[in-house]
């Protein structure tokens, strides 16, 4: 086996490990609200999320192409600008940096962004390895959506929940809660589908980038092989089924005690944001940021101080820290890997 093939296999395996950790790290995003409102039992919710994650991963490829386009590896004629082994080590280090940050935040139960950990990891490794970063793509497809999607999620969930409160203001609370518990099965499934659509594609993008670096004559940035799609879909689905209990407790209980209408409002808004950014803007946004801000927005309609803002500040700190922390971790991984493989 050639060294190039060995590194490619290693990078693909690490990418799938990242995809798996993304699943159990972010599984709570889609189901925490449904579990906390007792609309679904934890095991049923995880099963539903795993199935919908797999199906969502099969729905699109544009986000994957955006991720694959974060660093510059080709000139305008299609010729590689980096050495094969050099480029592969950069990608491997980026993945390892993202995995390290995912595991740290999972351990402490913080719903940070696997998406921004991955992008931050790739950027940190690219800078360490002297590979050009496409900052226009980072700004337009990552940083701007990173700021706007949580703000929109908060405001939209607040507005949707306000409308629900007005429409059902004269209804029987017990019947209303029972009805929205049933509706949460649909909204949780929609959110899990959006999670698969967004997050599995990011792993596909990294694997595609690896293949283009290693075998430019056989692969290009515009065509995603079906085997890559199926592997990424399976890995994130398996990770989701493994569960994300620590983060589930944070989203479901430590921000605010949700009732079924507020859970439905948060999930519906979160799913809408995920679909629109994937299909319209091709932007790899954070599922975590979107649903957490939507939970806060829906919860704030109860009363503003019903949201546990201390925990919200802790989560915000994790959000802000993710990109640079993953980049630094990836930088360190690159320095170590370059001593071994270059």
- DSSP, collapsed to helix, strand or coil, labels residue 295 as helix
Q: Taking a C-beta distance cutoff of 8 angstroms, is the pair 194, 284 a contact?
A: no
**pTM assigned to the model:** 0.84
pLDDT value of position 14: 93
pLDDT value of position 337: 94
Q: Taking a C-beta distance cutoff of 8 angstroms, is the pair 124, 331 a contact?
A: yes
Alpha helices (H) in the chain, listed in sequence order: 3-36, 42-57, 62-68, 84-107, 114-128, 135-137, 144-167, 173-195, 201-214, 226-242, 245-249, 260-276, 287-299, 309-341
pLDDT value of position 16: 94
Tokens representing residue 66 in the block: 């955006």
pLDDT value of position 180: 93
Neighbours of 79 (CB within 10 A): 9
Question: Phi, psi at residue 203, to the nearest 5°?
Answer: -70, -40
CA atoms of 61 and 226, how far apart (whole Å)? 11
pLDDT value of position 155: 94
- DSSP, collapsed to helix, strand or coil, labels residue 73 as coil
pLDDT tens digits in sequence order for the chain, 342 residues long: 688 899 999 999 999 988 888 887 666 666 777 777 778 877 788 888 889 989 988 887 888 888 888 887 665 555 666 678 888 999 999 999 999 998 888 777 776 788 889 999 999 999 999 888 989 888 888 888 888 888 899 999 999 999 999 999 888 989 999 999 999 989 989 998 998 888 888 899 999 999 988 888 888 888 889 999 999 999 998 888 876 555 555 554 555 567 899 989 999 999 999 999 888 888 888 887 888 889 889 988 887 666 666 666 776 777 788 999 999 999 999 999 999 887
pLDDT value of position 163: 96
CA atoms of 52 and 226, how far apart (whole Å)? 18
- The residues facing 14 across adjacent strands are none
pLDDT value of position 130: 87
CA atoms of 28 and 117, how far apart (whole Å)? 17
């Amino acid at each position: 086996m050639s060294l190039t093939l060995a590194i490619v296999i290693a990078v693909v395996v690490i990418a799938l490990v990242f995809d798996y950790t993304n699943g159990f790290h972010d599984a709570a995003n889609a189901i925490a609200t449904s579990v906390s409102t007792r609309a679904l039992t934890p095991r049923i919710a995880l099963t539903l999320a795993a199935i919908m994650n797999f199906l969502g991963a099969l729905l699109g490829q544009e986000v994957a192409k955006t991720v694959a386009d974060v660093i510059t590896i080709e000139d305008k004629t299609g010729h590689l600008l980096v050495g094969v082994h050099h480029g592969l080590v950069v990608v491997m280090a980026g993945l390892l940096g993202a995995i390290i940050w995912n595991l740290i935040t999972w351990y402490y139960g913080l719903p940070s962004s696997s998406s921004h950990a991955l992008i931050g990891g790739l950027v940190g490794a690219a800078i360490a390895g002297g590979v050009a970063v496409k900052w226009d793509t980072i700004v337009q497809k990552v940083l701007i959506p990173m700021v706007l999607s949580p703000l929109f999620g908060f405001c939209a969930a607040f507005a949707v929940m306000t409308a629900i409160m007005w429409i059902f203001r004269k209804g029987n609370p017990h019947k209303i809660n029972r009805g929205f518990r049933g509706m949460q099965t649909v909204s949780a499934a929609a959110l899990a589908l959006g999670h698969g659509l967004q997050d599995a594609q990011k792993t596909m993008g990294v694997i595609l980038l690896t293949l283009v670096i290693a075998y430019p004559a056989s692969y290009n940035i515009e065509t995603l092989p079906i085997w890559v799609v199926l592997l990424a879909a399976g890995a994130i689905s398996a990770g989701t089924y493994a569960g994300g209990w620590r983060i589930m407790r944070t989203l479901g209980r430590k921000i605010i005690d949700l009732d079924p209408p507020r859970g439905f409002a948060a999930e519906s808004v979160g799913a809408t944001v995920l679909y629109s950014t994937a299909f319209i803007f091709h932007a790899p946004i954070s599922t975590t940021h979107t649903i957490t801000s939507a939970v806060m927005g829906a919860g704030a309609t109860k009363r503003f101080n019903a949201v546990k803002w201390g925990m919200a500040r802790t989560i915000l700190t994790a959000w802000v820290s993710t990109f640079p922390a993953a980049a630094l971790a990836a930088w360190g991984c690159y320095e170590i890997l370059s001593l071994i493989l270059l």
